[in-house]
Structure 1
C-alpha cells in the first residue's frame, strides 16, 4: 500500500542550491571555522532572499531531498552491518543538535528527529513535514543543521570529507544524463 508521503509524490526541489549551502558549511567546519563567518551568512541570506517564495520552497524541498538521499545511503550502510539506521543516526543527531542551542532551538529538535525517522523509513521528509503545516522560521537553522550533520556522519563513516557531497552531485549528474 502506497503512502501519501511516498517519495514518488514529492518534489525534488532545488537540490543543487541546497547542496551548495550544505557543502559551504562542511568546508567551513573542515577549515577549522566553528562559527559561521558573518560574510558567508550574509551571502547565504542574500542568496535565499533572491529566490522569492517559490524558490525558497524549492530550496526547502531540495534540502529534504538531500536528507532523504543521505538517510537512504545510511540505511543501506547500516543494513550491511546488521544495524538499525534509526537507532544509529537519531540519538547522535539529537545529541549533536542539543549541543547547538544558539543555532538550533530546542523545540525544533523533535521535528528534525521526526524528519530523519521519516526519511529513514523511506518516506519523503518534505511530505512528512507538510502534514504539520508550513515550515517555521525557527526550523530553518535546524533543517540546515540536520542536512549538515547527516553529511558529516557519512563523511566520518567513509573517512572522506567529500563523500557526502559527491554522493549528491553524482546523483544529480546521472539524473541529467
Structure 2
C-alpha cells in the first residue's frame, strides 16, 4: 500500500535553484569566509525576488527534494556499513541546528528532525510537511540550514567538498536525459 506521502506524488520543485543555494553556502563556508559571498548572496537574493509566490513555493519544494535526495544517499551509505542513518544523522543535525540560535529558532528544530526522519523512511518531505500546514517564514532558514548540513555531512563522509553537489547535479542530469 502506498502512502499519501509517497515521493511519486510530490512536486519536485526547483531543485536546480536549491542546489545553487546550498552549493553557494558550502563554497562560502569551506572557502574560509565567515559570511556568504556578498556578490553571490546578492545574485541569489535578486533571483528569489524575481520568483513571485509560485516560484518561492517551487524553491521550497526543490529544497525538500534536495533534502530527500541527500537522505536517500545517506541512508544507502549507512546501510552499506550496517548502520541506521537516522541514528547517525539526526542527532548530529539536531545538535548543530541547536547551536545556531540566531538563524534557527529552537521551535523549528523538531520539524527539521521530523522532516529528515520522513526522508530516511522513504516519505516525501514536502508531502509529509503539508500534513502540518503551510511552511512558515521562520522555518525557511532552518530548511536551508538542514539542506546545507546534510550536504556538508555527505562531503565529510566522502572527504570531498564538492561531492554532494556533484552527486545531485549528476542525478539531475540523468533525470533530464531520461
Same topology, TM > 0.5: yes
- TM-score grouping bracket, smaller chain normalisation: over 0.9
Equivalent residue, structure 2, for 1:152: 152
1:19 to 2:19 alignment:
yes
Structure 2 CA distance for aligned equivalents of residues 70 and 11 of structure 1: 17
Matches within 5 A, 1:1-177: 1-177=1-177
Deviation at 1:38, TM superposition (A): 4.7
Count, aligned residues: 177
Structure 2 CA distance for aligned equivalents of residues 89 and 127 of structure 1: 21
Deviation at 1:34, TM superposition (A): 2.4
Deviation at 1:39, TM superposition (A): 4.7
Structure 2 CA distance for aligned equivalents of residues 43 and 154 of structure 1: 26
Deviation at 1:105, TM superposition (A): 1.0
**TM-superposition CA deviations, 1:78-112 (whole Å, max 9, x none):** 00111111000000000000111111111111100
RMSD over aligned Cα atoms: 1.1
**TM-superposition CA deviations, 1:28-83 (whole Å, max 9, x none):** 00111222345544433222121111111111110000100000000000001111
What TM-score do the two structures reach when normalised by structure 2? 0.96
Deviation at 1:11, TM superposition (A): 0.7
Deviation at 1:134, TM superposition (A): 0.7
Structure 2 unaligned blocks of 5 or more: none
Q: Any idea what SS the aligned residue of 1:82 has? A: coil
